[in-house]
Amino acid sequence: MSHRVKIFIVPLLLFIYTPIAFSQSHYKVRTIVIDAGHGGRKPGARGAISYEKDIALEVALKLGKKFEEDMPGVKVLYTRKKDVDVDFYKRAEIANDAKADIFISIHCNSMPDHRVITGYSRKHGKKVPIYKTSKNTSTRGTETFVAGMHRINEQDVAIRENADIKLEKNYKQNYDGYDPSDPETFIILSLFKNKFRDKSMELAKLIQHNYSKVDHRLSRGIKEQGILILQRCGMPAVLTEIGFISNPEEERYMNSAKGQAEIVHSIFNAVKTYKKENELN
């Protein structure tokens, strides 16, 4: 275990053990930060007709507008409002500096291509397999992530979402030696229970409930993984995968006005319920 990875934990502890306000009678949801995943030179997943970064931005802007119109007492902040590259640590800083009460990150899911053996050939006297790349286009559904405990073999999404930091300038300095592809990092993070885990789980459950019960979409559930942007947020935070861009039907849905309206409505209703259930008069 490297010394640099140990150093990475220090700033996290400032958030993990920060006294939480949920037990205080004046708790209110006053500020919400909406994060459109990826952006600029970090396009995220690619579908047949679109990029994740563009769908995420459209949904994020529409969600923010919904809050501004129907929940005027709440301040809405965005990590980006156009197609620009925003470093992970800056997204978390926006929320932490604003002392936000909720952080919502919008993403699209994707299944990786996989190779299948279609036959064999002989090369240099040896039997060599012939591969064909096959796309997984059938997987569908929504899922919402929170930062928390997890097993090391469940890190596919965390590794994929965290991989963007390698495109950032001076990422090793900004993240204290954090390596998004090193499983050891996730083990360290899982040793600490995030103070905001329970509230993050509560919001995630409400979002998934609306997706499945209101929009009648397949729910893949709620998962806890070491997604860096969630780990660095000092408030209840969720990353919601609104559908699979690798699935042609879901990609069309997420690009449609109807689909985006339903997604926005589901997230908004979840926050509305969360706000009502947690605010104490």
Q: Are strands 142-146 and 219-224 parallel, antiparallel or unpaired?
A: parallel
On average, the pLDDT of the chain sits at 81
Q: Phi/psi of residue 222, each to 5°? A: -110, 135
SS3 163: helix
Helix axes 248-255, 52-70, angle to 10 degrees: 40
Rounded to whole angstroms, the Cα distance separating 185 from 201 reads 22
Per-residue pLDDT at 185: 53
Write the class of the CATH domain 3-110+137-278: alpha beta
Q: With bands split at pLDDT 50, 70 and 90, how would you rate the model's confidence at 112? A: confident
Q: With bands split at pLDDT 50, 70 and 90, how would you rate the model's confidence at 85? A: very high
The residue ranking higher by pLDDT, 149 or 16, is: 149
Above 70 in pLDDT, residue 207? yes
CB neighbours of 93 closer than 8 A, spacing ≥ 6? none
CB neighbours of 223 closer than 8 A, spacing ≥ 6? 143, 144, 145, 146, 150, 154, 157
Mean pLDDT on 251-262:
98
Least confident piece of the model among 78-87, 142-151, 260-269: 142-151
* Residue linked to tokens 């979002």: 207
Per-residue pLDDT at 195: 64
Q: With bands split at pLDDT 50, 70 and 90, how would you rate the model's confidence at 114? A: low
pTM of the model: 0.75
- Percent residues over pLDDT 70 in the chain: 72
Rounded to whole angstroms, the Cα distance separating 121 from 10 reads 54
Q: How does pLDDT run across 25-55, given as a tens digit for each residue? A: 567 999 999 999 999 999 999 999 999 999 9
The residue ranking higher by pLDDT, 217 or 225, is: 217
Q: With bands split at pLDDT 50, 70 and 90, how would you rate the model's confidence at 221? A: very high
Q: How does pLDDT run across 59-80, given as a tens digit for each residue? A: 999 999 999 999 999 999 999 9
Q: With bands split at pLDDT 50, 70 and 90, how would you rate the model's confidence at 179? A: low
Among 2-11, 191-200, 228-237, the range of highest mean pLDDT: 228-237
Above 80 in pLDDT, residue 86? yes
